[in-house]
């Protein structure tokens, strides 16, 4: 049993219910299609589980999960085209298939809309109203067609593993990774551990086709005048009230913002100057 099998079962049950015009039955059809959407997003996340953090893997809301996926892999909600030709003749195409993937835009369009069918409906005067079953049926049928395309895609779960860039966070040890956009020479990547403040500057060397990273830190000195030890602070830690201990003297340092107030010169003083 896998997510695609579960999604297919949800779709089959939903399609059987769409033959009805009953409000109660259509609500159950919406529930099945909603679960179908979730399964397809979870399956997509499974393809990238090697670069997802423990926090990411606990995320159950599809909209948040796909947002995180796109931060790691900008093309995670797009399918790939796979073409294979004969070794003897490159014009002899053996296979030419395109993967159908559920996009973030499609998820956003349908997930919450059909979710609204699962709740009681009322008007502006808080009086209960019935669902417009004709409209609901059309919406669910359109979604059913879309999900059928994704589930029966000729190729699926196709992720270029070789293209994933991963490394261990220098602060918390969590695995960090991304599927880089090679059209961008530099970008910033945050540790996916919600309790970690580390971030990294990722650089792409177009000549050697290599990626490198370095911690995004700011250089400073210990505030203890008897120490003045060079220290480095993670960029995301530079907030008013942040505290850290110096590695050398073990004295506590405090990051604080200050405000300088001054009075502007009077018109008479300006004339004198």
Listing DSSP states for 8-53 in one string gives HHHHHHHHHHTT---HHHHHHHHHHHHHHHHHHHHHHHHHTGGG--
User: What's the pLDDT tens digit per position in 11-61?
Assistant: 999 999 999 989 999 999 999 999 999 999 999 888 888 777 777 778 888
pLDDT at residue 205, rounded to an integer: 79
Distances (CA, A) of 99 to 61, 65, 78, 137, 176: 24, 20, 8, 28, 27
Distance CA(157)–CA(266), nearest Å, equals 71
φ/ψ of 266, rounded to 5, equals -75, 160
Distance CA 206, CA 184 (A): 10
pLDDT band at residue 216 using 50, 70 and 90 as cut-offs: very high
Say whether 78 sits in a helix, a strand or coil.
coil
Q: What is the pLDDT of residue 144?
A: 97
State the chain's mean pLDDT as an integer: 85
- Looking at the predicted structure, is the pLDDT value of residue 272 above 70? no
Residue 251 near residue 222, CB atoms below 8 Å:
yes
CA-CA distance, 210 to 203, in Å (whole number)? Answer: 8
Question: Could you give the CA distance from residue 126 to residue 162 in angstroms, rounded to a whole number?
Answer: 55
> 271: which residues sit within 8 A by CB, 6+ positions away?
none
Q: 193: pLDDT confidence band, cut at 50, 70 and 90?
A: confident
The better pLDDT of the pair 251, 180 is held by 251
Q: What is the pLDDT of residues 83-141, one digit of tens each?
A: 788 777 777 787 778 888 999 999 999 999 999 998 888 888 888 888 899 999 999 99
């Amino acid at each position: 049993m896998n997510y695609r099998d579960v999604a297919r079962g949800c779709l089959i049950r939903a399609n059987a219910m769409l033959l009805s015009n009953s409000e109660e039955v259509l609500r159950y059809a919406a529930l099945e299609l909603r679960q179908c959407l979730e399964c397809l997003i979870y399956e997509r996340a499974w393809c990238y589980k090697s670069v997802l953090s423990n926090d990411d893997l606990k995320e159950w809301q599809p909209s948040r999960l796909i947002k995180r996926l796109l931060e790691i892999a900008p093309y995670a909600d797009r399918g790939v085209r796979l073409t294979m030709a004969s070794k003897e003749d490159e014009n002899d195409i053996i296979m030419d298939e395109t993967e159908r993937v559920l996009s973030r835009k499609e998820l956003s369009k349908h997930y919450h809309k059909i979710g609204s069918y699962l709740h009681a409906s009322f008007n502006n005067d808080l009086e209960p109203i019935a669902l417009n079953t004709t409209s609901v049926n059309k919406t669910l049928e359109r979604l059913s067609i879309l999900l059928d395309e994704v589930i029966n895609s000729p190729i699926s779960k196709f992720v270029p593993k070789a293209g994933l860039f991963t490394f261990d966070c220098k602060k918390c040890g969590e695995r960090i990774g991304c599927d880089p956009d090679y059209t961008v020479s530099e970008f910033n990547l945050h540790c996916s551990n919600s309790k970690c403040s580390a971030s990294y500057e990722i650089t792409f060397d177009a000549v050697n086709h290599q990626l490198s990273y370095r911690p995004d830190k700011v250089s400073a000195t210990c505030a203890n005048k008897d120490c003045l030890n060079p220290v480095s602070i993670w960029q995301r830690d530079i907030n008013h009230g942040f505290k850290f201990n110096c590695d050398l003297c073990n004295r506590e340092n405090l990051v604080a913002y200050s405000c300088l107030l001054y009075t502007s010169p009077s018109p008479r003083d300006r004339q004198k100057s």
